[in-house]
């Protein structure tokens, strides 16, 4: 390490807007909506929807967050390596969202996809459930 070449600086560094949006999602752990993010980060200097959407787009592209399509929300990736392949459970009662990191499920889906000759570039799987605490009550 610490060799002469200075490359790959870019790949590690997020811009200020990207960073504060990522931090908020990280600290929240929950899915957040773009305009909620905007409101939350007004004090940090974010003024317009576009600033939020641009940061979100980039973070999605980098695989650091995911968009949950059916609720128009964004959540931190807790999986670190799912690229653009995502799977979530969403509680139909309380709205709680969990990223599925069960290897067997995601591998299984990949296998099914291969077996069925679907050439998938990426996928988004949203499973609606009744979560444990909602099941009890």
The torsion angles phi and psi of 66, rounded to 5 degrees, stand at: -130, 155
Q: Which residue's CB is nearer to Zn ion, number 71 or number 82?
A: 82
- CA–CA gap between residue 50 and residue 7 (Å, rounded): 30
- 59 is a contact residue toward DNA (CB under 7 A): no
- Partner touching 77 among DNA, Zn ion, a second copy, none, CB below 5 to 8 Å by kind: Zn ion
Q: Which residue's CB is nearer to DNA, number 2 or number 116?
A: 2
Which of 29, 30, 39, 49 binds DNA (CB under 7 A)? It is 49
- 95 is a contact residue toward DNA (CB under 7 A): no
Nearest to 73 by CA among 47, 109, 48, 99: 99
Q: Which residue's CB is nearer to Zn ion, number 17 or number 85?
A: 85
- CA–CA gap between residue 116 and residue 85 (Å, rounded): 17
First to last CA, the chain: 55
- 64 is a contact residue toward DNA (CB under 7 A): no
The torsion angles phi and psi of 102, rounded to 5 degrees, stand at: -65, 115
| Phi and psi based region of residue 105 (left: phi greater than 0; alpha: psi -120 to 50; beta: remaining) | alpha
- 48 is a contact residue toward DNA (CB under 7 A): yes
- 51 is a contact residue toward DNA (CB under 7 A): yes
Instruction: List residues near DNA by CB under 7 A.
Output: 6-7, 9-10, 13, 15-18, 33-35, 45-51, 53-55, 57-58, 72
Instruction: List residues near Zn ion by CB under 5 A.
Output: 77, 79, 82, 91, 93-94, 96, 131, 134
């Amino acid at each position: 390490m610490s060799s002469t070449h200075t490359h790959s600086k870019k790949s590690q560094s997020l811009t200020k807007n990207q960073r504060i949006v990522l931090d908020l999602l990280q600290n929240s752990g929950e899915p957040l909506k773009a305009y909620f993010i905007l409101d939350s980060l007004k004090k940090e200097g974010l003024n317009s929807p576009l600033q939020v959407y641009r940061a979100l787009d980039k973070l999605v592209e980098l695989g650091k967050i995911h968009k949950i399509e059916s609720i128009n929300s964004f959540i931190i990736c807790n999986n670190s390596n799912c690229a653009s392949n995502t799977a979530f459970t969403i509680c139909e009662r309380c709205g709680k969202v969990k990223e599925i990191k069960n290897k067997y499920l995601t591998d299984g889906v990949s296998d099914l996809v291969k077996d069925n000759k679907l050439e998938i570039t990426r996928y988004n799987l949203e499973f609606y459930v009744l979560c444990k605490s909602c099941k009890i009550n």
